Amino acid sequence: MNEFDYKLLLEESWRRRLTPAEEATVRAWLAQHPESKADWELESQVSAALEKLPNVAVPGNFTARVLQAVEREAAAPRESQNRVPWFLRVLLPRAAVAAVIFGVGVFTYRAHTSAKRAELVQGVKVVADVSSLPSPEILQDFDTIRQMPATTTAGPDPELIALMK
Interface with another protein (CB under 8 A)? 11, 14-16, 42-43, 45-47, 49-59, 62-63, 65-67, 69-70, 73
Distance of closest approach, residue 19 Cβ to another protein, in angstroms: 15
Question: Residue 144 — φ and ψ, nearest 5°?
Answer: -60, -50
Distance of closest approach, residue 28 Cβ to another protein, in angstroms: 24
Chain centroid to CA 24: how far? 57
Distance of closest approach, residue 5 Cβ to another protein, in angstroms: 15
Nearer to another protein, 51 or 141 (CB): 51
Task: Report the candidate in 39, 46, 56 with the shortest Cα–Cα distance to residue 15.
Answer: 46
Nearer to another protein, 42 or 115 (CB): 42
Nearer to another protein, 60 or 134 (CB): 60
Contact yes or no for 13/44 (Cβ under 8 A): yes
CA-to-CA distance for 142 and 130, rounded, in angstroms? Answer: 20
